[in-house]
Amino acid sequence: MVSISDVAHEAHVSKMTVSRVINHPEQVSPEIRKDVQRVISQLGYVQNRAGRALANNRHYNIAFILLDNVNEIEPYYAHLLMHLTDALREEGYTLEMRHDRNFDLTNVDGFLICGARHSDFTVLNNLPIPVVIYGTESGITSVDIDNQAGTLLATKLLISQHYQRLLFLGMDIDEPFATNREMGYRQAMREADREVEIYRLPNNEHIVQRFLQNDDLSANTGIIAATDRLGLGALRASRQQGLQVPDDIGIVGFDGIYIHQLAEQPLTTVQQPLKEIAGHMVQLLLAELSGKTVESVYVVPKLIHGETTK
Amino acid sequence: MVSISDVAHEAHVSKMTVSRVINHPEQVSPEIRKDVQRVISQLGYVQNRAGRALANNRHYNIAFILLDNVNEIEPYYAHLLMHLTDALREEGYTLEMRHDRNFDLTNVDGFLICGARHSDFTVLNNLPIPVVIYGTESGITSVDIDNQAGTLLATKLLISQHYQRLLFLGMDIDEPFATNREMGYRQAMREADREVEIYRLPNNEHIVQRFLQNDDLSANTGIIAATDRLGLGALRASRQQGLQVPDDIGIVGFDGIYIHQLAEQPLTTVQQPLKEIAGHMVQLLLAELSGKTVESVYVVPKLIHGETTK
């Protein structure tokens, strides 16, 4: 049986340091923590986390709760989960996966939640342990991208490239992120003193393609899409009508995770920086756990230039 | 503070049953377990799992380890994780997320592993707790789809639709699943006494599209693709050469998770039944945990008919 002394010896640190890495990881520098954890797993030293948990009245386990419909927004989550798992491991915590509306407190110190909807917030507000959501809701610590800033960037890009008609393909759902993405377009159009033209559709490229087939997409049109799937539908409708992208039609999508690369022409898109978002979510949660008061964080997304703009 | 009696009263069961659900879930029927767990979370009853773990010398926690490159095979994992989380919760276990080659035994009863490569199996074989992999490796309990049966189905379909030239787009990697998908094509061609024509490429639709542009895809060609991304590249090369799919060119992909639906024409594909796979992985792991000897499981995939075959 590998002992704590073996670990200390192999990692060239004191037994006290090893014990701190195990019982009070927050008191040890990330570098030393990583070294010691590497040795711990190399030697197969088995920490008794149950005992450690009882001793510290901490579980060292954070639940990640996924409430979205995986089929619709799938490409985020494998990436987001990897980044959250890394960020938590850095801090000596593990991530427990959940995906229903069961906010069971067993064995968790806090919740990281994606896809929460209006109807969830009463419950979330009353949970007795820290909660950080990916999204926006007053009264709940949240990390979100500045959706309005994202579509503002996208719209300004297409204006600067001199497309005459500038239409917005939005989502037909009543959620803050959808509203904010539309607001960014409205703001840019107002500032440029241009007429808005807005369509709200299901987030499905096939539906968008059929919808735009009935629209005579005259050349020199710029399309700001609220998601990459909407942008993908716009790209296909344009090509089907024999229009050149980006010469005749300019398209900017939103999200920049996976789908934009799969398009026939890689989409120019507003990208959500998932690693940065995951890092903020973990830092905010751990700050709340240590009793600090925290502010919600908004991350400004970046434009990724593909082949659908000039 | 909510007591175990409150839970028993609300769930209309005895305190003994509640305690069993908490400490020996395997002794309680799934129905009762679900009822009691629902009440436990409704009332916010906090089980002390640390104490329970010490009492039973079990952690009630299974690590899921993702070793694949998420960027390449992303669409599986959000789905697979949901199904694994459900299947484990049914049995009173939680799922801990990991994605590095750190097989730390802390707080876990077993490992579920995806994306393990040849180089990992020595380590996996020497782990002191049960391991189930998604894939195929002698000596390790595994759940896998019968890849050869899948491409056999795909090839026979295209033969039956009277395509003359039948080519296989395989992957340029040396892994059992890639080899087995090629074998299914070879078998069907041998049985039909047809000449094989095989190309091995990176799993990237853009590369495949460029590759096939240099190939005069004569009409009446059937393409068996080892993945949906390869199939997507074939679809685009065909359309680009002005060929009609499926009249001139028939295409069958493989995987059937997400990407096939995003194609310009939904791909006919061989679908991996992820929910079934997740169920088998969990059942095999729990059987090993309770000391049973188990056999690896092979799941036969199904053909999903899209718009790329007649």
- Which segments of chain A belong to CATH 3.40.50.2300? 61-145+276-298, 147-273
Q: What is the pLDDT of residues B152-202, one digit of tens each?
A: 999 999 999 999 999 999 999 888 889 999 999 999 999 999 999 999 999
Q: How far apart are the first and last CA of chain B?
A: 64
Strand, helix or coil at A134? strand
Residue pair A207/A178 in contact (Cβ under 8 Å)? The answer is no
Residue pair B289/B225 in contact (Cβ under 8 Å)? The answer is no
* CATH architecture of the domain with residue range B4-55: Orthogonal Bundle (1.10)
pLDDT, averaged across chain B: 87
Q: Which two tokens stand for residue A19?
A: 């014990």
Residue type, B187: Q
CA angle B16/B19/B21 to nearest 5° reads 110
Name the residue with tokens 């001793």: A55
Q: Tell me: cis bond preceding A30? Omega within 30 of 0 counts.
A: no
A-chain CB neighbours of B95 within 8 Å are: 96-97
| Closest to B82 measured CA to CA, from B286, B285, B282 | B282
Q: What is the pLDDT of residues A78-94, one digit of tens each?
A: 778 888 888 888 888 88
φ/ψ of residue A193, rounded to 5: 55, 50
**Integer Cα distance of B16 and B39 in angstroms:** 15
Full strand arrangement of the beta sheet holding B221-225:
B198-201, B165-171, B221-225, B249-255, B268-271, B302-304
Compute the average pLDDT of residues B238-258: 93
Residue pair A113/A67 in contact (Cβ under 8 Å)? The answer is yes
CA B219 to chain CA mean position, Å = 35
* Among B54, B70, B102, beta carbon nearest to A82: B70
Across the interface, whether the CB atoms of A99 and B79 are under 8 A apart is answered: no
Q: Domain A147-273 sits in which CATH superfamily?
A: Response regulator (3.40.50.2300)
- Which segments of chain A belong to CATH 1.10.260.40? 4-55
Q: Give the chain A residue nearest B104 (alpha carbons).
A: A41
A-chain CB neighbours of B78 within 8 Å are: 66, 70, 74, 76-78, 81
| Confidence band for A70, pLDDT divided at 50, 70 and 90 | low
Q: What is the pLDDT of residues B58-96, one digit of tens each?
A: 777 787 777 666 555 556 777 788 888 888 888 888 899
Across the interface, whether the CB atoms of A38 and B64 are under 8 A apart is answered: no
Across the interface, whether the CB atoms of B262 and A259 are under 8 A apart is answered: yes
Q: Does the structure's ipTM exceed the value 0.90? A: no
As assigned by CATH, the class of the B61-145+276-298 domain is alpha beta
Across the interface, whether the CB atoms of B82 and A75 are under 8 A apart is answered: no
Q: What is the pLDDT of residues A245-300, one digit of tens each?
A: 999 999 999 999 888 888 999 999 999 998 899 999 999 999 999 899 999 999 99
Q: Where are the beta strands (DSSP E) in A82-208?
A: 94-98, 110-114, 131-134, 142-145, 165-171, 198-201
CA distance B4 to chain A (A): 14
In this predicted structure, what is the pLDDT of residue B70? 58
**Integer Cα distance of B290 and B92 in angstroms:** 14
* Among A44, A78, A236, beta carbon nearest to B74: A78
| Closest to A235 measured CA to CA, from A253, A255, A216, A218 | A253
CA angle B7/B13/B16 to nearest 5° reads 85
In this predicted structure, what is the pLDDT of residue A55? 63
| Confidence band for A171, pLDDT divided at 50, 70 and 90 | very high
